[in-house]
């Protein structure tokens, strides 16, 4: 699987049939709601230029403070 991060403004531009793992209601969004992530096996036709991430790379990204709230114990 490959992953990309897109600006939230692109959410309505997604051809959801090309990314069967997602729909507009279940994508992972950044905490501030400015970005979202989609994953795919074959690069969708609507993606022109975007950085592709591997599974391990995207896990590192989403574990950061932009995507995951810190919990005080």
**pLDDT tens across the length of the chain (73 residues):** 999 999 999 999 899 999 988 888 899 999 999 999 999 999 999 888 889 999 999 999 999 999 999 887 7
6: helix, strand or coil: strand
User: How far is residue 45's CA from residue 18's CA, in Å, rounded to a whole number?
Assistant: 8
15: helix, strand or coil: coil
């Amino acid at each position: 699987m490959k992953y990309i991060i897109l600006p939230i403004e692109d959410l309505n531009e997604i051809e959801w049939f090309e990314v069967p793992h997602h729909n507009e209601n279940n994508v992972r969004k950044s905490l501030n709601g400015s970005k979202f992530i989609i994953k795919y096996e074959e690069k969708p036709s609507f993606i022109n230029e975007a950085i592709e991430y591997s599974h391990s790379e995207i896990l590192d990204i989403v574990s950061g403070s932009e995507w995951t709230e810190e919990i005080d114990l």
